[in-house]
Structure 1
Amino acid sequence: MCRITEGRYQCCEQECFAMGSVCRACCINLHRRNPLHWIEEWNSSFFQHQSLQGLELRMQLGHELGSTCPCSSPASKDFAVLHSNGIHNVSVDFCACSLATERRQQLLRASWWPAMPTDPQTAMTFPLLHLFHTLNCQGKMPAFDMWKGLEIMTENRTGRRPPDRYKVLLRTIRQWRHLKQCKRAGHGHDPTGVQGTSLGELALECLACPHPGWNMPEVSEIEEVKRLTCPQSWLYTLFIALDVNYCVRNAVVSSDEQDPPLSDGWGYFVEKGPYLEHLHKFVSQEEISTCSGFAATFLANIKNVRGLRTTGVVGCTCARHGVWQKRGFGNLQHGERHCNVDGVVVQALNDVEVEVVISYDIVCQWGIHFWERMAEFPDDAHLKLTQDAIIMCMPKFHLWAHKPQCHARFSFNYVHGSGQTHRETIEENWADSNKASAQTKMMGPGARQDTLDDIFGFHNYRIMESFAIKEARVHRDDFERFDEGIISYCGKATTAQWLALVTAWEKDHSRPCPYEATLQGNETLQERSMRRRKGQVEFVNHQVLALFSCLAYKSRRLSEHILEMEVKALAMGTVYQQLNIQKQRSSLLRKINRFRGLQQVFMPNLRLVLSPSKLRHLDASSAFNVESIKLFMPSELDDDNQRARVCTPGVAEMESRMHEAESHDSLQRLRSSLRNRAASHLFTVKNVTGQNSTTQNQGILRTIQMNIHANKLRYRYSRNVLFRLRGHGPWEDELRLLRDEDIRGLNERLQTEDELHEQQRLRDLGVMDATGESSTNWNPAQRGDSRRVLSWIWYDSGTKDNTPKFTALCIEWCKARARMLRWEEEIQLLDEEMRRVISFADWKARWWSERAELRPDASPELQEGLKAFALEHTISEGCKKARVAEKWAPLRRLAQEYQRNLPVEIILEYQLQEEVVEEEVVDDE
């Protein structure tokens, strides 16, 4: 520096070392390495904007810093450079010597990206492109926002609007994305160059999924393992998840001819040509799901497509780790159709040779004619997998919105080798990618596909795996204790029979499902009502008689509801509650008057047997206390003689069957509520802490307990009616007398006398709600509990002796066994996946090492750069291998120690039981 005391120029950039005011010459010399800094000049009153171009700083390219070219060729005076701090006009001199390189190469060596390959007038700095690339992938910031930010920063500095370079920025970003993908995939080292890129080669593969020859044995070796019936062959299964996303839409902007993708089929989108050719065969196809209630099924024939080229995308991801699959995306043109999903599956699984488990929320419909549709594809597009190599299931969260017939058949909980992943990872992935939907909606088809490819690749790069070891041991211990209790109570032969049923169903889903409750000949109230509507119940004038029965039932339930509302109104006493009660009474009176008209037909002699005090109930016409009016159904008469005198044939039998169905229905609801109570208790013990959470959870438990109490009363009332109509008989073996101590779950025991006294004391003090009364105590399965006596409500008692069928108990045993096995598999899968990640890193390091010498014909400078890049990645993969191996070593030791402690019968169960179970099932049939 010249050390002039009164400098007039200063730099506005905080990272600049030229602090303080300097003279003009010093300012230029200090900024030859930083020509994109903002400068200010002192005008005797304040600092005003000045540019380095205004100070006549020239940027010489193609030569060392500080030297000039004798044959320099100046660029246009309006040469613009976009940098992270704004848009600058820079005076640039290109080298024009005899050994000079092209202008675009001179700019690239200065870390400036040329906007045009020939005679560029605009450039973007690498730091700007790096910054936008990261912000766009992580925060989904659109290019327009970046441009407006640069424009505002420039206008704030210069006081003028910079020239429009927005479209130039868009083109440069696409080039940057594409070349970055090719570079990271190693195609700079490939002798064939970018043109030699094969389909899906730019996509990042899941490190933990099975890849034959990379992180697992070759397919031929796997087949040898299967031939030896090794129980560990399921470890080489690929889990994928399919789903449709309607947020990632695309408007009719530009065209495929004007805006084609730069990497069609090389990344995460399918190859467009074969995909569209397949779709053209199904232009008029209409598909409506008859099972699922999701919005996707209603959008199968979506009409709101005006102005849209693409209504969404169908995506394919790794179901265990959430990694997007190569060639796993396809555009939707008219809602969710099977042909779109088929086109994606065919390309995503085209080179897969290991067994596959497919998760899809409407697989119950899509999978029906899957293989018939696969046969319609060209021979070169056929899957290498056979029908036995593909298993179809549903995600755990979506499963319960389907019909009950789908629950066990498509549940991951009952698929051997599936572990414990919830298979909803694709929904988590959509939540991240949907942030980019706004910016991609108005893009051209090629720009949109390139942008989404890049965002999906960034997602795969950032993905992390999660592990769980402790939970498996908990489920195994619980099952072992539960199994001990079952064997001591039911006998080992019973559990062996259950195991045979489970294993047989896993091999053939057409057999009875052991995971679902079946009412053996018992109808619920809803099923009996449905049969009446269909005309399947044969009575004289059955339609009118069904209406008579329905009115009686609804009137009684409405009366109970009004009484419950009155109890609450006594405590609250609001005007709204009183008005609501009055409305309900008016509704009840209308139903009763209608019922009385039908009662005169089916019970014509009712007035002859009623006392004067009861006759007033028949003539009631006021809505006041209408809930206390008696209906006088056949069960309310004194004996069978009165019923025969009063009722027409079939009326008493009709009421009897109605209450029989209501009894079974109440018992089933009671079991469900008891299971909910047990699950809620378990969740409370494990997760609920703090006053707010505890208070909310107590409200949930109180609601469950009220449901238990209501179902208990419903059952007792219906059974009492049955007893008055039928008397003693075989029906009492199924519908026993329900005592308070019978109402307990599978994992609940009877309370002791001391516990009952303590519970009554808490109720008297007001600590416990009156509705929370119970004669049971919840407690997880413990040793010694096997001597307890299970409540009769958990098994079907078809006889009076102690030989129950244990329907509900069998279901609980099968589900507990399935949970235990899935967690055992999860431990083995996690250990195998950790091994695969380490093996994949080792293979990738060798792969990069081999790439270093693939272009011996290149120039020495290029060879040196290629070798340096390849060796850098070789060392990086080696460090990754060492890092994850050290990080996961304790987990792997824990998992392997746990597997060594597994009982032999669990590890070899599927291998040893296969032939024996098949013979047992055949004998039973």
Structure 2
Amino acid sequence: MPATIFTERSSFLDEMIRLEGRGDEIPRGTCSCKGEEPLLYRCKDCFGVEMVCRACILQRHVHNPLHRVELLGLRIQLGHNPGETCYNPEPAAGDDFVVIDVHGIHEIGLDFCGCETAQIHYKQLIRARWFPATTLNPQTAATFALMEFFHLLTFESKVSAYEFYHSIARRTDNTGTTPIRDRYSAFMRMVRQWRHLKMLKRAGRGHDPSGVDATSAGECAVLCPACPHPGKNLPEGWEDASHDIRWKYALFLAIDANFRLKRKLVSSDNVDPSLNAGSCYFVEENAYKQYLSERGCEPQEKSSCVSHNAVNMADTKSSRGLAATGVGTVDCARHDMKLPNGVGDLQKGERYLNMDYLVFSVMVGFAVVVFNLSYDIACQWHKKLWPRMASMPPRLHLTDRDNKTIRFFVPKFHLNAHVQSCQTAFSFNFGKNVGRTDGEAPERGWANINRVASSTKEMGPGTCRDTLDDHFSDWNWKKVTMLGQRMLRKVKEASRRAKLHREELSELQRSIPASSLSVWKLEIEAWEEDSTQPNPFESRVIPMTQAAVRRQLAEKEAVDLQAGVDVSLHADISPSLLIASGIDLQDQQRRLAADISALGQHATDIQKTKIFNQSNALQRRLDMWAQIQVLYMPAVAPIRAMEDACRSEGTAALKPESFQLRLPSQLAPHLPCNQQLRECEWELRYAQAHDALNDVRQHIRLFTHLNTFRTANVRGQRASTRARTALNLAEQKKRASKAKYDAARDALTALAPLLGKFGWTDIMRPLGWTDMRPMGDFIQGQSEGTRDIPWIWKTPGVLQDNDEGLQDCLRIEWCKARAQEARWSEELLLLLEEMQRVLMFLTWQGTWWSGLASARHQERLADSEGSRAYANRQSALREAMAEKFRQRWAIVPAVVAAELDDDGTLDIADTDSTMLTIEGPPPLAVED
């Protein structure tokens, strides 16, 4: 990289901005055709910048609709418009100037203007919209159209300069018969300079009177409009807001490292320095390396959580043949954008030494008072952060730290890799005032930037950093342009989810005594204010052992067996006892059917004998019960007689497990039946459904405890087999309880219209397999923040059995449900606040660009016109974006209002009422 680019870049930048105006065409009042039409047109793809009238521009492009111009064999005259004569031409040395454009690599004859008013050669090239490869006797140039095309192509396809250049060369000649001069090195130099100059131009550095050399750290980065920027998009007096409001002005930072973006040990900073020099996303290299060299020998602390490789292996990561093992970054956690001075090379893994420097380089640039930091090793990294800050350069110290609120979180996807205590203490799901932030913003950015890793790892240090800076800027800009649709989609989702989880929490609370709720609420509020208080999301009950679960299963079997044996029928049976006995017999039928189904094809004689005995005993009970049933339900007699007649005619003998009891719920509605019997069955079935549902809950908990115990403690084939047997038994019990509940509910469904029963279906709902899961579990497609609570845990009376384990589970589930509702409500308020900030930022930025239009005094009219044209275009662009967003978000108040509870649980008044109604100019038709 020639040293002259540092001294001449201001001149290059001025010339590029000059092209935004008419340049040397200002004095010329008439077109070369001598017509009277004004000079309003010029072609960006034609050679030169000549202004022509409408008739001429149409005529010149009749045969060039796609504008494919062959330059070979032409002699180009710079410094004058086509057709004008230069009286002192200066031919390029060798008469073989090389021009690279989108159609090929061309060798042309080129004359520089040598008149008294002629500009230096590289300026003549730039004014013709050709970018020179050097400032000293240039022999190669690339058209602006080519540079712009490659610039966008490399963003979208991540094509390398090598691949692009050789594609252009093959387009010039794809046969190898025509020699083509190799200008790849020159093209690489032009690409790098083009990126740097475009960055300065878009940052307004060409309009600043202090000049390019006065560019400050991070000034050229594309800022996130939705993040809080004091003086730009925050209301007056925001710093004095109360604590219950201040959280909306927090900055969310996401910290991560990427080891795909490594760089080989080639070149050096002396040979290949960065042109950006800390003015964009990478920190300034000299100060960064000096800090690392002074403290590089400090050992890395070991992790006391799980074995985080990022912590424990930081000092041992292989760096052989590498100048950088990767990069560390600090992103905007809510909007996925890279932050100014938040990127730096890693020399030996993800050391605290590197990451601390990057984090504080970002934080000192934001004068906010609330920071929420997300890092996959935050549980360890934050422990000695402030002592480490004290040993950093003074410019990186946070001032007035006592008045700042700084909280630490672990990204949601990474959280499950931590120990249980970290999963609650550092969770975005349970932390207050963070909305639905997930902390995984860097991961989404890596998917985009990793595709350039194969190119950047071969680059020198300065070229690599400048290239990544350029890609990060494009990533940020695309995020800015998509804020309108992304934030509208998020508001719609947050409004819907906030309402859904409010209803979910309200439904759960109806099943919990008010006294328990008041105690739990005090506990969780105390923990939210002071994390040293007992964590309400952690269990306080000693988990069951495998032996205890087996004992409970055995006791349950004994109770069931006793209930089945104690069925006694006699002639004096009462109506209620008749129905109760029938329901018990139905249970025994299901049990027998299940035993037969589990018998298998190779059952032993003992197993078969046991089944036969059960079947015979059940048949005797059924016969006795059927005789009594006819006394109370005469309508059953003809049905039984018909069934007996069918069997006597050769039909297979009726098996006891298939015997139709013909209880009142099983009779057709038109058949006569005593209403008292129906009432008796209703009451018994309703109680049976409650009992069965309670059994389902108990068996779910037992199965969960067994499975947890097996995963954590059981090793070896024998122990695993015994544990699997116990799990299978618990699963069978759960399925049997479900079948019992389904039968009871079917009976209730049949009896309800006959007895005029209503409202019971709100409590006794259909029981699906997805409902039979623990309270803290969720099905596929759900996450901690979107999952629902199975309805079986929200029915009235769940806590009436005084089960300590169940109460503890329900308390934790209530805390989680409360957190879910709070996070979605916070997310909605944060989004509304961020929308307001986006509009304010774009309005401020438009005004800022308008001020730059005349900020720098230009001696020549062409220069000042170009400067004004570009600044005004950028200002109009921001105004148009703000208006477009404002129009897109006009439906937001109606969307939010539609999801509010009648009692106004979520008060939209907490957000600035002027949101989405900022006064501004009408939308302008401008080109981005």
> Smaller-chain TM-score range?
0.5 to 0.7
Match of 1:366 in 2: 381
Contact 1:293–1:402 (CA<8 Å) still a contact in 2?
Answer: no
Match of 2:514 in 1: 492
Task: Output aligned runs, 1:466-615, within 5 Å.
Answer: 466=486, 467-484=489-506, 487-519=509-541, 521-522=542-543, 524=545
Match of 2:91 in 1: 74
CA drift of 1:669 comes to 4.9
Query: Aligned equivalents of 2:547 and 2:791: distance in 1?
Result: 41
Match of 2:570 in 1: none
2:373 is the counterpart of 1:353: no
Task: Output aligned runs, 1:234-383, within 5 Å.
Answer: 234-280=247-293, 281-293=295-307, 295-297=309-311, 299-354=313-368, 355-383=370-398
- TM-score normalised by L of structure 2: 0.65
Query: Aligned equivalents of 1:329 and 1:522: distance in 2?
Result: 46
> What runs of 5+ residues in structure 2 fail to find an aligned partner?
1-44, 48-58, 550-597, 603-696, 709-722, 752-765, 780-786, 911-928
Query: Aligned equivalents of 1:459 and 1:435: distance in 2?
Result: 13
Deviations 1:44-80 (A, max 9, x none): xxxxxxx732xxx311111111122011111121211
CA drift of 1:825 comes to 0.8
Deviations 1:662-706 (A, max 9, x none): x999946527989xxxxxxxxxxxxxxxxxxxxxxxxxxxxxxxx
Q: Which moved more, 1:707-716 or 1:262-271?
A: 707-716
Residue aligned with 1:806, SS: helix
Match of 2:78 in 1: 61
CA drift of 1:304 comes to 2.5
2:206 is the counterpart of 1:168: no
Deviations 1:689-731 (A, max 9, x none): xxxxxxxxxxxxxxxxxx99954736999xxxxxxxxxxxxxx
Deviations 1:790-841 (A, max 9, x none): 2779x7439xxxxxx8211111111111101111111111111111111111
Query: Aligned equivalents of 1:287 and 1:743: distance in 2?
Result: 56
Aligned CA distance change for structure 1 residues 216 and 38 (closer, same or farther; 3 Å): closer
Q: Of the two structures, which has the highest relative contact order with CA contacts closer than 8 Å and spacing of 6 or more?
A: 2
Aligned CA distance change for structure 1 residues 750 and 806 (closer, same or farther; 3 Å): farther
Query: Aligned equivalents of 1:90 and 1:527: distance in 2?
Result: 91
Aligned CA distance change for structure 1 residues 787 and 392 (closer, same or farther; 3 Å): closer
Query: Aligned equivalents of 2:854 and 2:887: distance in 1?
Result: 31
Q: Which moved more, 1:465-474 or 1:325-334?
A: 465-474
Aligned CA distance change for structure 1 residues 64 and 414 (closer, same or farther; 3 Å): same
Query: Aligned equivalents of 2:386 and 2:889: distance in 1?
Result: 41
Residue aligned with 2:224, SS: coil
Aligned CA distance change for structure 1 residues 75 and 239 (closer, same or farther; 3 Å): same
Query: Aligned equivalents of 1:131 and 1:118: distance in 2?
Result: 26
CA drift of 1:292 comes to 3.9
Aligned CA distance change for structure 1 residues 97 and 410 (closer, same or farther; 3 Å): same
Which of 92, 101, 123 lines up with 2:141 in the alignment? Answer: 123
Quote the RMSD (CA, aligned, Å).
4.3
- TM-score normalised by L of structure 1: 0.65
Task: Output aligned runs, 1:383-462, within 5 Å.
Answer: 383-384=398-399, 386=401, 388-462=404-478
2:110 is the counterpart of 1:110: no
CA drift of 1:756 comes to 11
Residue identity opposite 1:309 in structure 2: A
Query: Aligned equivalents of 2:901 and 2:314: distance in 1?
Result: 50
Match of 1:188 in 2: 206
Which of 138, 146, 160 lines up with 1:142 in the alignment? Answer: 160
Task: Output aligned runs, 1:512-911, within 5 Å.
Answer: 512-519=534-541, 521-522=542-543, 524=545, 667=701, 669-670=703-704, 711=727, 713=729, 741=737, 752-754=745-747, 788-790=796-798, 796-797=803-804, 806-895=807-896, 903=904
2:218 is the counterpart of 1:200: yes
Residue aligned with 1:353, SS: coil
Contact 1:667–1:711 (CA<8 Å) still a contact in 2?
Answer: no
Query: Aligned equivalents of 2:599 and 2:175: distance in 1?
Result: 70
> What runs of 5+ residues in structure 1 fail to find an aligned partner?
1-14, 18-28, 40-50, 529-566, 572-662, 675-706, 718-737, 759-767, 799-804, 910-925
Deviations 1:103-153 (A, max 9, x none): 111111111111111211111111111111111122111111112112222
Aligned CA distance change for structure 1 residues 512 and 172 (closer, same or farther; 3 Å): same
Contact 1:523–1:664 (CA<8 Å) still a contact in 2?
Answer: no
Aligned CA distance change for structure 1 residues 497 and 471 (closer, same or farther; 3 Å): farther
CA drift of 1:302 comes to 3.6
Aligned CA distance change for structure 1 residues 313 and 524 (closer, same or farther; 3 Å): farther
Residue aligned with 1:832, SS: helix
Which of 52, 57, 71 lines up with 2:72 in the alignment? Answer: 52
Residue aligned with 1:814, SS: helix
Aligned CA distance change for structure 1 residues 755 and 261 (closer, same or farther; 3 Å): farther
Contact 1:751–1:776 (CA<8 Å) still a contact in 2?
Answer: no
Residue identity opposite 2:796 in structure 1: R
Aligned CA distance change for structure 1 residues 672 and 103 (closer, same or farther; 3 Å): farther
Contact 2:772–2:790 (CA<8 Å) still a contact in 1?
Answer: no
Aligned CA distance change for structure 1 residues 665 and 901 (closer, same or farther; 3 Å): closer
Contact 1:522–1:664 (CA<8 Å) still a contact in 2?
Answer: no
Query: Aligned equivalents of 1:482 and 1:847: distance in 2?
Result: 47
Deviations 1:486-528 (A, max 9, x none): 5554322211111111111112222211112232x45645999
Deviations 1:828-876 (A, max 9, x none): 1111111111111110110011001111254222111111111111111
Query: Aligned equivalents of 1:349 and 1:807: distance in 2?
Result: 41
Residue identity opposite 2:251 in structure 1: L
Contact 2:499–2:900 (CA<8 Å) still a contact in 1?
Answer: no
Contact 1:241–1:359 (CA<8 Å) still a contact in 2?
Answer: yes
Deviations 1:350-379 (A, max 9, x none): 122221101100101111111111111122
Residue aligned with 2:872, SS: helix
Query: Aligned equivalents of 1:827 and 1:198: distance in 2?
Result: 36
Contact 2:738–2:767 (CA<8 Å) still a contact in 1?
Answer: no
Aligned CA distance change for structure 1 residues 853 and 672 (closer, same or farther; 3 Å): farther
Residue identity opposite 1:65 in structure 2: P
Aligned CA distance change for structure 1 residues 904 and 93 (closer, same or farther; 3 Å): same
